[in-house]
Amino acid sequence: MSRLNGPARTNRPAKLIDVARHAGVSTGTVSNVLNHPDKVKEGTSARVMRSIEHLGFVRDTNASSLANGGSHDIGLVVIDLANSIFLDAARGAQSTARAAGLNLLMAGSENDFGVQSSNVDSFIGARVAGLLLAPMQDSSAQIQRLTKRHVPVVLVNYDPGTDHACSVIVDNDAAGYIAARHLIDLGRRRIAFVSVDWDLQPVEQRRHGIRRAVAETDGAVTLEEIVADDLEVGSGNAIARQVAARDAAERPDAVVAVTDNLAVGFIEQAADLGIDVPGDIAVMGTDDNTSAARCRLTLTTVTMQGRQLGAVAMELLMDEIRHGRDEHRHQRVVLTPQLVVQQSTVR
């Protein structure tokens, strides 16, 4: 890629300082020509305008904000674009940012910690005014890099367990509890929780909530935990084959899958094997993922409050940008999820 490695001069846009040097004036004078022309002598103004023309300097929102010292761009780095919670968060963050005259730029990390790291660095390089970070694991090193550059950061959908940064999370324990409670209220007595055995914060917390709801039944309801290979549709298919191979009496009468994609995979395969959903087995997800795979039934799930997640995170970030690190107090905001009942649990 010769262009990517070519000489710096060819595609570098002219900056305010280039115009100042070319015209032989200070950057403040260039800024005045653009923002307060009345303060500048006519001859100087004309010289600056000729330099602007000559260098192809285009004044834009970004350039003019850089001229007065701050970017109007906010970065958002999310785990993956394939889970709609992050898209919803982006939408929430964007409308809040937009209302304040700020621009949101986004990057997805494709479930890869290295990609997340280079996304963070891209935004540092792009000189954003602040960053919203939805990390996949402990990201202290990246947060330190941001702090060193004085870029405020708010964590989204991840509890850092420290007060070094603001964070906005969804109550995943409540999500698990609400899901299991729904199935118990429907009269289901043998619940299976399908998830993975990785050390993922939301999975741990949802498992805890499900166990809590089942424990409250004093033994009237049993809980079986089934470990899938990953969180995707194919693994949901595999679990359905496993369950279908059992005697009917040994099967669960309800399945809570930790992701909607696992639930969709289970439903599609189970139906193909002659299991009636929701008649024989009621199935639900717990992450209200509109980006999940297509399903023959609409899916009962639990909302993850993505829009609020993004909107609240942006509010906290703007507070930190506005007041600076010394006057701003970090906060931890917890949002409550909601049940969405559809065809996969109630006919």
Site residues (CB under 8 A) for a second copy, limited to 187-246: none
Number of residues engaging a second copy in binding (CB under 8 A): 75
Helices (H) and strands (E) in the chain — how many of each? 13, 12
CB of 12 within 8 A of CB of 57? no
Task: Answer yes or no whether residue 81 interacts with a second copy by CB under 8 A.
Answer: yes
Q: Which of 29, 51, 96, 119 binds a second copy (CB under 8 A)?
A: 119
Largest CA distance in the chain: 92
- The window from 123-131, 164-172, 249-257, 269-277 that contacts a second copy (CB under 8 A) reads 123-131
Distances (CA, A) of 191 to 87, 147, 170, 194, 284: 31, 45, 23, 10, 11
Cα–Cα distance between 305 and 319 in angstroms, integer? Answer: 21
Nearest approach, Cβ of 175 to a second copy (angstroms)? 18
Nearest approach, Cβ of 33 to a second copy (angstroms)? 17
The structure tokens listed for 219 are: 């033994």
- The amino acid that residue 169 corresponds to is I
Please state the length of the chain. 347
Nearest approach, Cβ of 68 to a second copy (angstroms)? 5
- The window from 36-44, 118-126, 157-165, 205-213 that contacts a second copy (CB under 8 A) reads 118-126
Q: Which of 21, 44, 49, 103 binds a second copy (CB under 8 A)?
A: 103
Q: Which own/partner pairs from 18-24 qualify as long-range (CB within 8 Å, at least 24 positions apart)?
A: 18/55, 18/57, 19/48, 19/51, 19/52, 19/55, 19/57, 22/51, 22/54, 22/55, 23/47, 23/48, 23/50, 23/51
Task: Answer yes or no whether residue 318 interacts with a second copy by CB under 8 A.
Answer: yes
Nearest approach, Cβ of 207 to a second copy (angstroms)? 26
Q: Which of 11, 38, 43, 219 binds a second copy (CB under 8 A)?
A: 11
DSSP class of residue 274?
T
Q: Which of 61, 137, 140, 336 binds a second copy (CB under 8 A)?
A: 61
The helix/strand/coil state of 170 is strand
| Minimum CB distance to a second copy smaller for 9 or for 41 | 9
- The window from 66-74, 178-186, 244-252, 271-279 that contacts a second copy (CB under 8 A) reads 66-74
Cα–Cα distance between 155 and 52 in angstroms, integer? Answer: 41
| Minimum CB distance to a second copy smaller for 252 or for 310 | 310
- The window from 41-49, 79-87, 166-174, 183-191 that contacts a second copy (CB under 8 A) reads 79-87
By CB under 8 A, the residues from 271 to 310 that bind a second copy are 290-291, 294-298
- The window from 184-192, 209-217, 268-276, 337-345 that contacts a second copy (CB under 8 A) reads 337-345
- The amino acid that residue 249 corresponds to is A
- The amino acid that residue 161 corresponds to is G
Task: Answer yes or no whether residue 338 interacts with a second copy by CB under 8 A.
Answer: no
Q: Which of 73, 253, 260, 287 binds a second copy (CB under 8 A)?
A: 73
